[in-house]
Amino acid sequence: MSVRELVVLGTGSQVPTRTRNHNGYLLRWDGEGLLFDPGEGTQRQMLFAGVAASSITRICLSHFHGDHCLGVPGVVQRLSLDGVRHPVVAHYPASGAEYFARLRHASVFHETAELVESPVTEPGEIARGAFGRLVARRLSHPVESFGYQLVEPDTRRMLPDQLAALGVCGPAVGQLQRDGFVEVGGRRVELSAASEPRRGQRFAFVMDTRLCDGVFELAEHADLLVIESTFLSADAALATEYGHLTAAQAGRVAAECGVRKLVLSHFSQRYPAPEAFRAEAAGSFGGEIVVASDISRIAVPSRRPYRAAAG
């Protein structure tokens, strides 16, 4: 069985607290492991969470404030120490290339792992693979910040009973998938007769930002949305001033964008009781809300039925 889940490594903004490490999130998506915004201490949080460095295939940074990137040196060096054999791709805002260069070479180590830099220069598709499309959108923060969206295309699921009934077997199945039809015993069988639509899944990662178009574009129809909610509404003016969201705004985004599961994170250390974040988001979003805690696992919801919503 393929695994699709979010491993939460850290949930604190700005400074770690006794209960919250700096940010850090690993999205396990079949064979991919996308590490988002590894803040300071991420390497040790991975140990607690049972995540091996070898499970990382991509590193995606939203921006270069320390709580989103100070974990890069440890993680990068660990890749080599553990002898990771596959290349790891790093995405980050191109305007911060000098910071990434320093983080990557922060101290002396024997570099054997292959780290491929793929800086984000403008919004749009930044990678494509078996996982689907990885898309970046510009956010609104005092320094350049990008959010990320993983979009798996809709496909078709073959129906074994229908295939058997129609006499399609062996290499003819592949041909049917490839060409959209196949000739069997002098009859033409269409793909639609032996398969059904299969809804692709979507994941979105929205970190430090005010409300802006990019937030809504990223969150659109996300099965799982991880979004910052640094502040509560009482401090909405601070949120706007420093380029952040409130939990109420995050809930509104989720409601307007047809999100299925909402994960709130990146909490300011000023709030001791995280449940208030859930209550504010629930004011407008009726779906499932998770107030993220360190070292937790959040499943990507099961596939959306094909007719349930638009894509």
Binding range to Zn ion, per CB under 5 A, among 60-68, 74-82, 165-173, 198-206? 60-68
Interacting span for Zn ion (CB under 5 A) from 63-71, 101-109, 173-181, 294-302: 63-71
Backbone angles phi, psi at 233, to 5 degrees: -60, -30
Q: Which residues are catalytic?
A: 67
Bridge pairing between strands 288-291 and 58-60? unpaired
Collapse the DSSP code of 107 into the 3-class scheme (helix H, G, I; strand E, B; otherwise coil) and give the result.
Answer: coil
Site for Zn ion in 2-31 (CB under 5 A): 13
Nearest approach, Cβ of residue 266 and Zn ion (Å): 6
Interface with Zn ion (CB under 5 A), residue from 32, 208, 220, 294: 208
Percentage helix, strand, coil for the chain under 3-state DSSP, each rounded to 5 = 30, 30, 40
Identify the residue whose tokens are 């091996």.
Answer: 52
**Binding of residue 294 to Zn ion (CB under 5 A):** no
Which residues, in sequence order, are CB contacts of 26 under 8 Å at separation 6+? 6, 7, 9, 33, 34, 35, 36, 46, 49, 51, 55, 56
Q: Please identify, using beta-carbon distances, which residue of 152 and 208 lies nearer to Zn ion.
A: 208
User: Residue 253 CB, nearest distance to Zn ion (Å)?
Assistant: 17
Q: What CA–CA distance (Å, rounded) separates 135 from 217?
A: 10
Determine the interface stretch with Zn ion among 52-60, 90-98, 186-194, 204-212 (rule: CB under 5 A): 204-212
Tell me the pairing of strands 124-129 and 58-60: unpaired
Calpha distance 40→303 (Å, rounded): 34
The least CB distance from residue 137 to Zn ion, in Å, is: 17
Around 194, how many Cα atoms within 13 Å sit in the side-chain half-sphere?
25
Greatest CA span in the chain, whole angstroms? Answer: 73
Known binding site: residues? 63, 65, 67-68, 141, 208, 266
* CB 55 to Zn ion: min, Å: 24
Q: In angstroms, what is the minimal distance from the CB of 208 to Zn ion?
A: 5
Q: Which residues pair with 90 in a beta bridge?
A: 59, 117
Find, among 182, 192, 187, 200, the residue nearest to 162 by Cα.
192
Comparing CB distances to Zn ion, the nearer of 142 and 153 is 142
Interface characters, 165-194, with Zn ion (x: CB under 5 A): ------------------------------
How many residues at the interface with Zn ion, by CB under 5 A?
3
Binding residues for Zn(2+): 63, 65, 67-68, 141, 208, 266
Q: How far apart are CA 82 and CA 284, in angstroms?
A: 45
Closest distance of CB 144 from Zn ion, Å: 14
The torsion angle over the Cα atoms of residues 298, 299, 305 and 310, rounded to 10 degrees, is 40
Provide the CA 255 distance to its chain's centre, in angstroms: 19
> Exactly one of 32, 40, 67, 280 binds Zn ion (CB under 5 A); which one?
67
- Residue closer to Zn ion, measured from CB, 21 or 201: 21
208 vs 223 by CB, closer to Zn ion: 208
* H or E stretch at 218: helix 213-219
Q: Candidates 123-131, 167-175, 208-216, 287-295 — which segment interacts with Zn ion by CB under 5 A?
A: 208-216
Residue 13 or 246: the one with the smaller Cβ distance to Zn ion is 13
From the list 27-35, 97-105, 205-213, 214-222, the region that binds Zn ion by CB under 5 A is 205-213
Q: How far is CA 59 from the centre of its chain?
A: 11
Nearest residue (beta carbon) to Zn ion: 67
Interacting residues with Zn ion (CB under 5 A): 13, 67, 208
